Amino acid sequence: MAVALILLLVAIASVLFHVYSPWWWTPIASNWRYIDDTINLTFWITGAVFCAVIAFMAYCVLRFHHKEGRRAAYNPENKKLEWWLSIGTAIGVVAMLAPGLVVWHQFVTVPADATDVEVVGQQWMWSYRLPGKDGRLGTSDARLISSENPLGLNPNDPNGQDDVVVQNDDLHLPVGKPVKVLLRSIDVLHDFYVPEFRAKMDMIPGSVTYYWLTPTRTGTFDVLCAELCGAAHAQMRSRVIVEEEKEYHAWLEKQRTFAELSGQRDVAKAAYKTGSE
Amino acid sequence: MSAIILFMATIAAIAGWWLSQQRLAAKPWLEEGVAVDFRGERGSSVPPAKIGLGVFLAVVGSLFALLISAYSMRNTMVDWRELPLPKLLWINTGVLIISSAALQWSLMAARRSDDEDMLVGLLVGGASAVTFLAGQLVVWQQLNVAGYVVASNPANSFFYLITALHGLHLIGGLVALGRTSAKVWRGAPMVQVRLSVELCAIYWHFLLLVWLVLLGLLTGWTENFVNICRQLLT
Amino acid sequence: MVDIPLDHVAGIPPAEVGEVELYHPRSWWTRYVFSQDAKVIAVQYSITAMSIGMVALVLSWMMRLQLGFPGTFSFIDANQYLQFITMHGMIMVIYLLTALFLGGFGNYLIPLMVGARDMVFPYVNMLSYWVYLLAVLVLAATFFVPGGPTGAGWTLYPPQAILSGTPGQDWGIVFMLASLILFIIGFTMGGLNYVVTVLQARTRGMTLMRLPLTVWGIFTATVMALLAFPALFVASVMLLLDRLLGTSFFMPTLVEMGQLSKYGGGSPILFQHLFWFFGHPEVYIVALPAFGIISDLISTHARKNIFGYRMMVWAIVAIGALSFVVWAHHMYVSGMHPYFGFFFATTTLIIAIPTAIKVYNWVLTLWRGDIHLTVPMLFALGFIVTFVNGGLTGLFLGNVVVDVPLSDTMFVVAHFHMVMGIAPIMAVFGGIYHWYPKVTGRMLNDVLGKFHFWVTFIGAYAVFFPMHYLGLLGMPRRYHDIGETSFVPASAHDLNAFMSVAALIVGFAQLVFLFNLVWSLFKGKEAGGNPWGATSLEWQTPETPPGHGNWGKELPIVYRWAYDYSVPGAAKDFVPQNEPPSGAVAQGAHP
């Protein structure tokens, strides 16, 4: 009796917790509402199965627990029942998998008008690079990294000269424009993770990974690292600021390009040299 | 990962074939009494040690299939530089074939209860296996002198790793072979050693097969072969 | 269908000698320490696994203290936290669960359940334990080497596992990899034994379809482990070479702390493929023995045959085979080719079907049973609740696009603790309460057992069910302190504190269990040979605890499957597997 009740209470408490607890995902800020919908659908299906199994079990414990003189039924199998249960399960699985795969197809198909944004992870900070007026990012190589060129951009690539480099600062994105986020790391695995965007992908040193999204509302969002990257993994933070087109351009105007940054360093170096002689 | 998938599919096929012989569709609750035992009569059933060796070879096969998978994923990267294989490798391969043949000869002698030939076969097999290992060490030496050290390129790293793992398995085999030879030397009765000789021979043939596959991989023949097959298919 | 005439029994000669040459201990040392008797080896495995498991339990308390009350405990910093999670994960998954299920339960139960005198290669079996012990000692030694144990996470992903930004990169990681290599060598020796014993040493009449599901589970898990562990072996050897010799199997061109490193060109993804090619089967290596044990516990304590035995066997085999083609579902956001997602999501969700069949059959076994709510039965019920819960959240993570927001969050942590932490440990406890009387001849204390069950079950559920919702919030895993964020409300910290308190209570309940184990050894109620009225062979030994060689003079002959409970017309509500059919006895044909 008590056992059956407690089992039932576990199921009921789980459902109540799900419905009434204040802990739920943060409001979404990207186009990936479909992911949230798929999660909700999965919650409905799995929740129903969970409750049904536990309730059935609790009923069995209540109804068939040992009493003097009770003898269990002899029932080796029931092919028909087993087949129906398997088919039912298969239908449930398809109901979750099919929408999942459709949404995944959207997730991996980057729209043609998406603008590139590069995110570079390193222990333990984030840097960003946006294409300049030509709309294209220059090439990069980890071997070119130095204190003058912390992102390892190729100085001989004309596409890279006007790239906007953002270090130790927030990333700004225009609202409503699709973005292809190119992910690069210069030391270990990292993962560019903005909970409100729902999307994430590991960054792997030696190759460039990507995902795409369209920010759908303005605001300031935290950036965290979601792949263990060493001692200060938890402190690797930054922010993404999604804003209207006009404000975004105003911000973009103020940023330095790669050419400016490297040129300025050359000037500074020259000045230092003349001063010391 | 195609090499290991292929290997696993083979294992799955063998396991599936075996399971299909086991009346898995029987309804055991209806069958009271001493059921028909498909392992056959006691005398004719396969000895456990042989089954054990078979299972162990599956484990070793899985190990090398995974190495091959890793190799074929890594050698598509841009920094891969093939290393020149020393000629000595071919002589070593010949020695390993001789070793395997000698053990097969020993096994045949054991089957017709010829003590002397069996011992000769075991000793020749053991000596040539040791020669093979020494030859492999010389190959390492030659490569080292030529500047192909282990860490300088992934192709070198894989070469050393693969030959080392193959060599270690052969050393393990030599321990078993040594024990068998000692038993024969002490004049243990034929029925006791016949199985040991057979197990050694099986293990040797398997390691020879693995070596030939690895050699095909290291020389790039396997890759060419796969490419040709792919072209024929498309 | 082959008809088997009952009068065959008359023609069966008694099996007077076993099929293995028995080894005979000559001294105290060879009887209790360097023993080749599978039952002694099983106890050695179990004690060692539980001892190192206690270390992992204490580590989990440290982690929970830090997560529940960040900043309060000055002796836990970020580095140590990472070391704790790494060692906790590795110990629990490999050195506790794998070793306990296969080395402990496997060694004890396989020979007894199939009616053999011992494992087929007793000497190799002994070596297996000593190599395992060495692996455990090497692992434990990492706590004392300079720099401490590795903090790379139990997945040991390169490049960070061997770079200077990670704690334990000088010695910890080297010892860890060496220990894993040793473990795999030791396990392979044991695994060969388990497989060949099931294949070759079954007593007469013991066909595969008469095996208890425990043997099916352990057997299939061992086959999988034998084939999957080489992947971890290869990955460990290659990572060790990268660390020690400076090769670049997995290491790409990278900048280490501002300096261009010596490495170049390697592929971190390659390591992940190798690791998960082992790692996913590993989940089922732990789950399948639990499935088997739970099936037997439910059937015995509900006095009813397991429902759908054939489906149960087929499901075990199907799950074992499928689990080799789903590994990359751990890598949906690893940056591998996105089109793999379609394939692996599909195979992953297909596995849900045979797994669900097993769950249905367990609960259908309860239906119209005669349920004795003994401690093993309670643990079996607890297993079903936690396993169903964890299995269903697996459908979230296996469905590729749903995994994208949830991966690397606390949702994942909650999921795998529920499904391959709490659920298998429920099976372990259930199994120990069930077979302890056979191992020692005495019952475990019932009151302490029930206390242990309720605190563990309710407590663990209270830890890990709410944890899913922290993951939904977006809280990442492997953070010693979430710090300031805009999306985690302050109330989540209260929830974390609550979970920590629950975890500590559950932890201390395990001390009650350990006390019970020791106390009952001396003061427990005498059990007799078959206290639960079970049918399978291990309960039919002439002596309890079973003596050397298990069966006395004659090996048992098996006449029926392992689930003849409450057979209509039978006098008792169980018929042991070695009880001859009533017709044969009447003829007096059985010697």
| Range 138-197 of C in CB contact (< 8 A) with B | 188, 191-193, 195-196
Please measure the distance between the N-terminal and C-terminal CA atoms of chain A and give it in whole angstroms.
93
Is the backbone of residue C303 left (phi > 0), alpha (psi -120 to 50) or beta?
left
A154-167 average pLDDT score:
87
Amino acid at the residue A230: G
Which residues of chain A make contact with B29, given a CB cutoff of 8 A?
76
Quick one: pLDDT band at residue A277, thresholds 50, 70, 90? very low
* Chain B contact set for A77 (CB, 8 A): 27
Give the three-state DSSP class for A136.
coil
Nearest-Cα distance to chain C for B192, in Å, is 14
**In chain B, which residue's Cα lies nearest the Cα of C196?**
B52
Residue C23: the pLDDT is 64
Check whether B134 has a pLDDT greater than 90.
yes
Q: Confidence band (pLDDT; 50, 70, 90) for A264? A: low
Residue of A nearest to C390 (CA): A50
d(CA C438, CA C521) in angstroms, rounded, equals: 12
CATH of the domain at B177: 1.20.120.80
Q: Is the pLDDT of residue A271 over 80?
A: no
Q: What is the mean pLDDT of residues B225-229?
A: 83
Residues on chain A touching B27 (C-beta within 8 angstroms): 76-77
Cβ of C304 within 8 Å of Cβ of A74? The answer is yes
Q: Are A225 and A236 in contact (CB under 8 A)?
A: yes
Which DSSP letter does residue B187 get?
T
Q: Which amino acid is at C231?
A: A
Cβ–Cβ contact C283 with B under 8 A? no
**Average pLDDT for chain B:** 89
Please indicate, yes or no, if residue B120 is contained in any of the structural domains.
yes
In terms of phi and psi (left: phi > 0; alpha: psi -120 to 50; beta: otherwise), the region of C474 is: left
| B112-134 average pLDDT score | 93
Touching subunits of B (3+ CB pairs, under 8 Å) are A, C
Q: Which chain C residue shows the shortest CA-CA distance from A47?
A: C392
> Which pLDDT belongs to residue C10?
37
Q: What is the pLDDT of residue B37?
A: 52
More confident residue, B225 or A274: B225
Contact flag C353-A23 (C-beta cutoff 8 Å): no
Residues 549-588 of C with CB under 8 A from A: 563, 565-568, 573
Distance CA C452, CA C445 (A): 10
How confident is the model at residue C31, as a pLDDT? 79
**Closest residue of A to B30, CA-based?**
A76
**Which of A22, A97, A235 has its CB closest to that of C346?**
A97
Predicted pLDDT of residue B187: 80
CATH of A115-272 given 2.40.30.20, 3.40.630.20, 2.60.40.420, 3.30.360.10: 2.60.40.420
CA-CA distance, B128 to B91, in Å (whole number)? 11
More confident residue, C47 or B20: C47
Instruction: Nearest chain A residue to B29 by CA: give it.
Output: A76
Pairwise CB contact (< 8 Å): C481 & A234: yes
User: What integer pLDDT is reported at residue B107 of this predicted model?
Assistant: 93
Convert the pLDDT of each residue in A180-196 to its tens digit.
Answer: 999 999 999 999 999 99
Q: What confidence tier does B101 reach under pLDDT thresholds 50, 70, 90?
A: very high
Note the pLDDT tens digit of each residue in C139-173.
Answer: 999 999 999 999 999 999 999 999 988 999 999 99
pLDDT in tens, B164-196: 999 999 999 999 999 999 988 888 888 888 999
- Closest chain C residue to B47 measured between Cα atoms? C200
| Structural tokens at position A263 | 């040129």
pLDDT tens, A194-251?
999 999 999 999 899 999 999 999 999 999 999 999 999 999 999 999 999 999 999 9
Using an 8 Å Cβ cutoff, are B166 and B93 in contact? no
- Rounded (10°) angle between helices C172-200 and C122-141: 160
- Residue C537 DSSP code: G
The mean predicted confidence, pLDDT, of chain C is 91
Cα–Cα distances in Å, from C464 out to A190, C31, C94, C461? Answer: 26, 43, 21, 5
C338 touches chain B (CB under 8 A): no
Bridge-based pairing state of the strands A171-174 and A238-243: parallel
User: Please, what is the average pLDDT of chain A?
Assistant: 90
Cβ neighbour number for residue C219 with a 10 Å cutoff: 26
pTM: 0.94
Q: Residues with Cβ < 8 Å from A115, sequence gap 6 or more? A: A131, A135, A177, A178, A179, A180
- Name the residue with tokens 């098996």: C558
- Tens of pLDDT, residue by residue over C190-226, are 999 999 999 988 888 888 999 999 999 999 999 999 9
Res C275: pLDDT: 96
- Whether residue C371 and residue A65 make contact (CB cut-off 8 A), yes or no, is yes
Question: What is the pLDDT, as a whole number, of residue A267?
Answer: 53
Beta bridge partners of A129: A118, A165
Q: Does any domain span residue B30?
A: no
Q: Which residues of C42-61 are buried (b: 16+ CB within 10 A; e: fewer)?
A: bbbbbebbbebbbbbbebbb
Task: Grade residue B22 by pLDDT with cuts at 50, 70 and 90.
Answer: confident
- Does B15 reach chain C within 8 Å, measured CB to CB? yes
**Per-residue burial over C561-572, b = 16 or more CB atoms within 10 Å of its CB, e = otherwise:** bbbbbbbeeeee
Q: What is the mean pLDDT of residues A80-97?
A: 94
Residue among A7, A78, A196 whose CB faces C487 most closely: A196
Share of chain A above pLDDT 70, in %: 95
- Taking residues A70-80, what's their average pLDDT? 90
What mean pLDDT comes out for the span A43-49? 95
DSSP-assigned states of every residue in A224-272: EE-S--STTGGG--EEEEEE-HHHHHHHHHHSPBHHHHHHHHHHHHHHH
CB contact under 8 A, C302 and A103: no
pLDDT in tens, B64-94: 999 999 999 998 888 888 888 899 999 999 9
Comparing A95-109, A162-176, C209-223, C574-588, which segment has the lowest mean pLDDT?
Answer: C574-588
The residue range of the domain holding B195 is: 82-233
pLDDT band at B223 (very low <50, low <70, confident <90, very high): confident
* Interchain pair B157, C247: CB under 8 A: yes
Closest residue to C371, CB basis, from A66, A152, A198: A66
Q: Is the Cα torsion angle B150, B156, B160, B162 positive or negative in sign? A: positive
For domain C35-206, the question of CATH label 1.20.210.10 is answered with yes
Would B209 be classed as within a structural domain? yes
- The reply to whether B41 falls in a domain is no
Assign B224 a pLDDT band (cuts: 50, 70, 90): confident
Tokens of B53: 């060796």
Taking an 8 Å cut-off on Cβ atoms, the answer to whether C389 and A70 are in contact is: no
Interface of A with B (CB under 8 A): 76-77
CB-based contact B26 C209, cutoff 8 Å: yes
Nearest Cα of chain B lies from the Cα of A207 at a distance, in angstroms, of 11
Report how many Cβ contacts below 8 Å link chain A to chain B: 3
- For residue range C272-309, what is the model confidence (pLDDT) as tens digits? 999 999 999 999 999 999 999 999 999 999 999 999 99
Using a 10 angstrom Cβ sphere, with 0-12 exposed, 13-18 middle and 19 or more buried, the burial of residue C372 is: middle
> Phi/psi of residue A128, each to 5°?
-135, 155
**Residues lower than pLDDT 50 in chain C:** 1-14, 16-20, 584-591
B25-54 average pLDDT score: 72
Considering only the beta carbons, identify the residue of C268, C353, C385 that sits closest to A54. Answer: C385
Kindly give, in sequence order, each residue whose CB lies less than 8 Å from that of residue B141, ignoring residues fewer than 6 positions away.
Answer: none
Would you call A75 and C368 a contact, using CB atoms and an 8 Å cutoff? yes
The letter for the amino acid at A29 is A
**How many structural domains does chain B have?**
1
Residue C108 tokens read as 């004890």
Interface of B with C in 111-170 (CB under 8 A): 150-151, 154, 157-158, 161, 165
What distance lies between CA A181 and its chain's CA centroid?
A: 11
Collapsing DSSP states into helix, strand and coil, what is residue C12?
Answer: coil
Interface test with B, best of C118, C199, C213, C254 (most B CBs within 10 A): C199
Q: How far apart are CA C4 and CA B32, in angstroms?
A: 8
Residues in chain C within 8 Å Cβ distance of A237: 483
Percent of chain A with pLDDT over 90: 71
CB-based contact (8 Å) between B175 and chain C? no
Interface check B79 vs C, CB under 8 A? yes
Pick the most confident of A134-138, A236-240, B228-232. Answer: A236-240
Distance to chain A for C377, nearest Cα, Å: 11
Do the chains contact at C317 and B19, CB–CB below 8 Å? yes
C200 contacts B45? CB cut-off 8 A: yes
DSSP code string of C480-548: S---S-SSS-HHHHHHHHHHHHHHHHHHHHHHHHHHHHHHHHHHSPB--S-TT---SGGGG-SSSS--T
Q: Is residue B211 part of a domain?
A: yes
Q: What is the pLDDT of residues C251-267, one digit of tens each?
A: 999 988 888 888 988 89
Ramachandran angles phi, psi of B60, nearest 5°: -65, -40
